[in-house]
Every structure is written in C-alpha cells, then in structure tokens.
Amino acid sequence: MSTIDSLLAIMAQLRNPDHGCPWDLEQNFASIAPHTIEEAYEVADAIERGDLEGLRDELGDLLLQVVFHAQMAKEEGLFDFEAVAQQLIEKLLRRHPHVFGADATTAATEVANSAEEAAGTTAADASDAAGVTASWEAIKAAERRRKGSGDSALDDVATALPALMRAGKLQRRAARVGFDWPDYRGTLEKIYEELNEVKAELPTADPQRLEDEIGDVLFAVTNLSRHLGVDSETALRRAGQRFEQRFRAVEAEFRQHNTPLKGQPIEVLEAAWQRAKKTVS
C-alpha cells in the first residue's frame, strides 16, 4: 500500500460509523472549513519564519484537510480523493500548454484553444513569466466561461478570502480590463480623498457610515500597495509583528523600573515607544 493509500485508509477508519473517532464523525464541510483556513496560515507562518522542518509538519496538516474533505464527499457520493487529484492533473495540463503542449488532453486542448481565441495568447507566447501569467489568466477565464460564469471580470473571487487579499484580487481583476489608475499617484490621491471623507463623518459619528468610509480607506491603501508591488496582507502582518516586538520592549522598560505602564501620560508612552523603535527594527 502506498503512503497516500495508507493515509486515505486511516481517514476512512476515523470516519467509520461503527469504530471511528466520535469527533471526526461529528464533522462536516462547514465545521472543517475553519481548520482548513487555519492550517493554510500555519503553512505560510512556517515559511515566513524560515522553519523548513516545521513546514513539513504543517504541509502534512494541510494535506489532512484535503483528505478529510475528500472522505466526507466520498461518503455523500459526490467525489473522492482520486477525482480531486485527477481534476488537478487535468487543470495543470490545461493551464500549462507551454510546457505539456496544447493537446496534452482533449479537455486541455478545447479550453486552451478557446482561451487563445479570447486573449490572443498561444503556447509560443509563454516564453517568459509575463507571458505565462497572461496565458494562465486567459485559460482561467475560459474555464470560468465553461462553468457558466465569466460575464464579469470579478467572477469567482472567493468571498472567504482574507479581506485584504480579496481586495487586492478584485483590484487586479479590474485592472486587467483597464479599470485602473495609470500609476501609484492616482491611488495616493484616492487615499487622501477617502481620509477626508472619514473626517467629514466624524461630527455625526454614524457607525455604519464610519465603517463604510474606513473600509474605503483600507481598500484604497490596498490599491496603493498593489501599484507599488507590495503584498498588503504580508505588509500588515509584518507591521503587526513589529508592533508586538516594540510594545513588548516598552513593557520590559517599565518593568525594569518597577513602573506601571497603565496610567502613564501619552508623552511618556510616546518617548518609550520611540526608544523601542531604535532597538527593534
């Protein structure tokens, strides 16, 4: 038995109605979904920390999520792990005609041809990263049309994505059809405009209006990040890490002097913060 076959057999046993695990048996697609998202973030965290040994472990946990969902789908007669893998194989062949040839599979040929007609992109065009990206997006657009969607450039942008990530993806999709500022200066002006709209709402302090305007500011900042080639999700996560390290340094300074942090004047706190910034980059 192969390693993957053993894994599938273990998952099937965990879900066995007679002799399985009570916790595993209680789960469904919806209850497992948050764990799937969490495991994906833990993979990203291991990469961020350069923990390659931990990455192996986290990738295993993420694979478990795929196996778990596939087992539940098999029990409902929907699909199984084999079907998931087969569909992935077909997708990889279909989306890489520059590597495997446009006729790698019949389905791949049909979609690749329709994509080429739609975008004017052929396998020969995919000689560099930019060409591959253009070909990839054209093929994905053709796939969406085959599914009955694709009328909008924004179709199939998952609503469950983290907010910053989804905002960036929506903006990239719109940019591909020309709905975009010519350079970062337009996005910078938009941030100032949205900040002024927040200020205009402050006298009334209507919660819904403030939420709308703050959301517009965040969306505009995400757009600026995109234009500058900065991943907004990564930038905010690292900003959080810097804040945590500096705040802990401030706490340590006050503990060292046996002084409570709470209740200190803002000027004292700001001075301590500036000292922390010099020691924690």
What integer pLDDT is reported at residue 115 of this predicted model?
Answer: 44
The pLDDT of residue 130 is: 65
**pLDDT value of residue 72:** 98
Number of H helices, E strands in the chain: 13, 0
Q: Would the pLDDT of 125 be above 60? A: no
Could you tell me the pTM of the whole model? 0.63
pLDDT at 110 over 70: no
Distance CA 30, CA 70 (A): 13
pLDDT on residue 215: 96
Model confidence at 122: pLDDT above 80? no
Average pLDDT over residues 212-227: 96
- Backbone φ and ψ for 101, nearest 5 degrees, come out as 95, 145
Phi and psi at residue 123, in whole multiples of 5°? -60, -35
pLDDT at 281 over 80: no
Q: What is the mean pLDDT of residues 84-103?
A: 88
| Cα separation values, 26 from 20, 30, 31, 35, Å | 10, 11, 9, 14
Per-residue pLDDT, 144: 66
For the chain, the maximum distance between any two Cα atoms, rounded to a whole number of angstroms, is 74
State residue 270's pLDDT score. Answer: 96
Q: What is the Cα–Cα distance from 128 to 254, expressed in whole angstroms?
A: 55
Residues 235-247 have pLDDT tens digits of 998 999 999 999 9
Flag whether pLDDT at 121 surpasses 50: no
Most confident of 77-86, 143-152, 165-174: 77-86
Lowest mean pLDDT among 41-55, 177-191, 214-228, 261-275: 41-55
Euclidean distance between CA atoms 36 and 32, whole angstroms:
6
pLDDT-derived band at 149 (thresholds 50, 70, 90) equals low
Q: What is the mean pLDDT of the chain?
A: 87
pLDDT at 16: 96
pLDDT, average across residues 241-256: 96
Residue 189, pLDDT above cutoff 70 = yes
User: For residue 75, what pLDDT is reported?
Assistant: 97
